[in-house]
């Protein structure tokens, strides 16, 4: 059976040598987050900080820091999940496999939460300021709950079946928040938004419960891309290997009995306050914006409560391992949900939402010797119509039949495959003035930007160069060309200063300098960056700079470009302006004094020596 609560999990991991207890006093202001990120980078253990400055509650970090540890935590239920997925993909085959059928039936039973007369989480009451005041990055606007499980129900149809459990950033101090207020940063395309809108329509406050801790399955369930109609609390029961017991708070909402904390209250009307900044998973700060305010009625906690947390930043981070585990659970359902699509991969190094890879199936005209993308475009639209995948900016989609062995998780091999085949005159498909991720500041406004689908299929069209031959004779203001990978040239450009959402005349001058016969076109993709050495240093830097710092509609250019019947294409190289723009959010950097203190903890003789 799975763990009932977080303490059971921590105790077991410590026995198995997968968790280290840190008894030295550490500060949740910058220090603890910095330590967690460093241990994650080293592939280290989970960390229980037993002596947190300013709080009586211990903090647990890096719990899901490796996929191996995550698999261990859910070892008792993985086969049940596999059986349920198999039942969905191939019911006949699953029914013929009697052991798998029994596992699926057992899993279905655990979907049902069960009411409890006594809930440990409701035994004690504290305040928001009693919680560990975690601040991960120097410019953060205050303390944040970084693993909050935000639970709401649709006011029009109360109950688990119309519930939503999501992980939305929660600010609990700083800015203009009062002691009994929390900021709820929920992004577009989130279930809580539907519930909030219905509450506004009815003129009612929206009850909200924020769970912290509890069974580890709750945390994973809150970020799973579940089928519509399956409550996250129900899936947590399957994943955790036991039904989720629950009590109720005075606002009428359930709370998992074994949670460590519950922040309970309401959203009243459409009141907002500035939330942020916050160092986020794309590698930049999300800046201050107005978001809904939750009025907190009470903060409940169990005896010996443990406060789980994570610290996000430029990938890879703990949420990377989290995402890998979730893909293991759900990847097999992709062809079921998206017919013809073999696989989808959100590229972590590019901040997840900015860049998607997909493998589709071009089947519309199998009799053609060298087909052009047709069904791939239908499948690309289907991908961009799915949940959070709809927030992507760039989608590269290949044809399965061109290379059935192509590994979608090997970013360089996938890009090489695409660049060998892409025809920039036909394969670029833009969506302008649309929605992008709330955390992405490359677009024309908050939640506003554009998308580019690159769909390529057929025989290999070109050999990709790996070195620069002969002088390129670059225009003034462009210098230091470097080859980042086969077929990709990175060039340093002058500082960008074009208005937000507008094209840059200097970029137009750059592409006008060359015709389609110029040797620079041996490189099908050119990236203009502030620092070409940094960008070309490794694939991770290339993906991060190129796709987090560009908005397709305003930052994609082409040599010998033309627009025919509103279709943009080019005969020469495709050029992406990935310089930092004046409206971009600042990249994350750690405070140097804090970094030195943390370094001393890991030095020989330090309390964390050997962990990072």
**287 and 408, same domain (yes or no):** no
| C-alpha span between 485 and 472 (Å, rounded) | 18
Pick from 455, 488, 518: which residue ends a domain? 455
- Tokens of residue 282, six digits: 């794309």
- List of residues 6+ apart from 242 with CB closer than 8 A: 1, 2, 4, 110, 215
**296 and 337, same domain (yes or no):** no
| In a domain? residue 544 | no
Q: Give me the CATH number covering residue 249.
A: 2.30.110.10
Q: Give me the CATH number covering residue 420.
A: 3.40.1670.10
**222 and 344, same domain (yes or no):** no
| In a domain? residue 151 | yes
**35 and 160, same domain (yes or no):** yes
**231 and 361, same domain (yes or no):** no
Burial (CB count within 10 angstroms: exposed 0-12, middle 13-18, buried 19+), residue 297: middle
Q: Residue 100 has what pLDDT?
A: 47
| In a domain? residue 538 | no
Q: Residue 101 has what pLDDT?
A: 40
Q: Residue 365 has what pLDDT?
A: 73
Q: Which domain holds residue 19?
A: 6-73+110-309
Q: DSSP 3-state assignment of 326? A: helix
Q: DSSP 3-state assignment of 165? A: strand
**339 and 283, same domain (yes or no):** no
**130 and 228, same domain (yes or no):** yes
E strands, 3-134, in order: 19-22, 46-49, 59-61, 114-115, 124-126
Pick from 455, 470, 504: which residue ends a domain? 455
Q: What is the 3-state secondary structure (H, E, C) of 296-308?
A: EEEEEECCCCCEE
What does pTM read for this prediction? 0.91
Q: Residue 6 has what pLDDT?
A: 95
| C-alpha span between 64 and 18 (Å, rounded) | 11
Looking at the 3D structure of the chain, how many domains does it have? 2
**289 and 338, same domain (yes or no):** no
| In a domain? residue 395 | yes
| In a domain? residue 559 | no
| In a domain? residue 138 | yes
- List of residues 6+ apart from 265 with CB closer than 8 A: 180, 182, 207, 208, 251, 294, 295, 296, 297, 298
**176 and 121, same domain (yes or no):** yes
**406 and 303, same domain (yes or no):** no
Task: Yes or no: say if 250 and 259 are a contact pair by the CB < 8 Å rule.
Answer: no
**52 and 118, same domain (yes or no):** yes
- What does the pLDDT look like over 229-282, one tens digit per residue? 667 777 777 777 777 888 999 999 999 999 999 999 999 999 999 999 999 999
| In a domain? residue 36 | yes
Q: What are the residue ranges in the chain where pLDDT is below 50?
A: 87-109
**263 and 380, same domain (yes or no):** no
Pick from 401, 435, 455: which residue ends a domain? 455
DSSP string computed for 186-225: --SS-HHHHHHHHHHHHT--EEEEEEESSSHHHHHHHHS-
- What does the pLDDT look like over 96-137, one tens digit per residue? 443 444 444 444 445 555 656 789 999 999 999 999 999 999
User: How many Å is the maximal CA-CA distance in the chain?
Assistant: 79
| C-alpha span between 102 and 95 (Å, rounded) | 9
| In a domain? residue 515 | no
Q: Residue 191 has what pLDDT?
A: 80
| C-alpha span between 102 and 70 (Å, rounded) | 24
Q: Report CA-CA distances (Å) from 310 to 39, 43, 57, 197, 425.
A: 12, 15, 16, 30, 45
């Amino acid at each position: 059976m799975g763990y009932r609560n977080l303490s059971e999990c921590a105790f077991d991991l410590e026995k198995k040598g997968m968790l280290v207890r840190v008894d030295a006093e550490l500060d949740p202001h910058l220090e603890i987050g910095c330590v967690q990120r460093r241990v994650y980078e080293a592939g280290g253990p989970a960390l229980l900080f037993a002596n947190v400055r300013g709080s009586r509650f211990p903090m647990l970090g890096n719990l899901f820091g490796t996929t191996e540890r995550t698999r261990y935590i859910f070892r008792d239920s993985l086969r049940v999940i596999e059986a349920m997925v198999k039942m969905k993909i191939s019911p006949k085959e699953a029914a013929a496999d009697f052991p798998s059928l029994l596992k699926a039936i057992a899993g279905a039973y655990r979907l049902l939460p069960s009411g409890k007369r006594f809930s440990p989480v409701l035994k004690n009451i504290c305040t928001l300021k009693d919680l560990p005041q975690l601040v991960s990055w120097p410019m953060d606007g205050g303390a944040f709950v970084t693993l909050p499980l935000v639970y709401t129900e649709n006011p029009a149809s109360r109950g688990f079946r119309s519930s939503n459990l999501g992980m939305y950033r929660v600010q609990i101090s700083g800015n203009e928040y009062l002691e009994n207020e929390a900021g709820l940063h929920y992004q577009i395309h989130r279930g809580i938004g539907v519930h909030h809108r219905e509450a506004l329509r009815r003129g009612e406050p929206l009850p909200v419960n924020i769970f912290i801790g509890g069974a580890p399955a709750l945390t994973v369930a809150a970020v799973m891309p579940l089928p519509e109609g399956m409550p996250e609390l129900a899936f947590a029961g399957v994943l955790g290997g036991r039904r989720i017991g629950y009590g109720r708070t005075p606002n009428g909402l359930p709370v998992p009995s074994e949670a460590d904390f519950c922040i309970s209250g309401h959203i009243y009307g459409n009141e907002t306050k500035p939330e942020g900044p916050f160092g986020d998973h794309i590698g930049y700060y999300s800046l201050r914006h107005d978001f809904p305010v939750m009025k907190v009625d009470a903060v409940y906690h169990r005896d010996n409560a443990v406060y789980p947390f994570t610290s996000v930043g430029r990938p890879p981070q703990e949420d990377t391992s989290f995402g890998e585990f979730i893909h293991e659970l759900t990847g097999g359902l992709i062809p079921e949900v998206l017919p013809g699509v073999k696989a989808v991969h959100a590229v972590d190094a590019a901040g997840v939402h900015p860049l998607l890879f997909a493998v589709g199936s071009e089947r519309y005209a199998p009799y053609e010797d060298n087909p052009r993308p047709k069904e791939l475009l239908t499948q690309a639209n289907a991908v961009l119509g799915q949940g959070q995948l709809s927030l992507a900016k760039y989608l590269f989609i290949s044809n399965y039949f061109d290379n059935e062995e192509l590994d979608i998780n090997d970013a360089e091999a996938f890009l090489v495959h695409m660049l060998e085949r892409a025809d920039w005159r036909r394969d670029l498909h833009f969506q302008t003035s649309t929605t992008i991720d709330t955390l992405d500041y490359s677009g024309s406004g908050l939640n506003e930007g554009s998308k580019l689908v690159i769909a390529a299929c057929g025989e290999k069209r070109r050999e990709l160069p790996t070195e620069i031959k002969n002088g390129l004779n670059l225009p003034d203001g462009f210098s230091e060309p470097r080859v980042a990978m086969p077929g990709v040239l990175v060039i340093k450009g002058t500082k960008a200063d074009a208005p937000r959402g507008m094209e840059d005349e200097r970029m137009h001058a750059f592409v006008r300098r060359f015709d389609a016969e110029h040797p620079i076109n041996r490189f099908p993709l050119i990236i203009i960056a502030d620092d070409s050495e940094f960008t070309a240093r490794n694939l991770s830097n290339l993906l991060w700079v190129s796709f987090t710092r560009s908005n397709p509609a305003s930052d994609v250019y082409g040599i010998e470009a033309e627009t025919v019947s509103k279709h943009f294409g080019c005969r020469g190289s495709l050029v992406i302006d990935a310089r930092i723009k004046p409206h971009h959010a600042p990249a994350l950097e750690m405070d140097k004094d804090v970094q030195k203190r943390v370094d001393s903890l890991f030095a020989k003789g330090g309390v964390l020596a050997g962990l990072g």
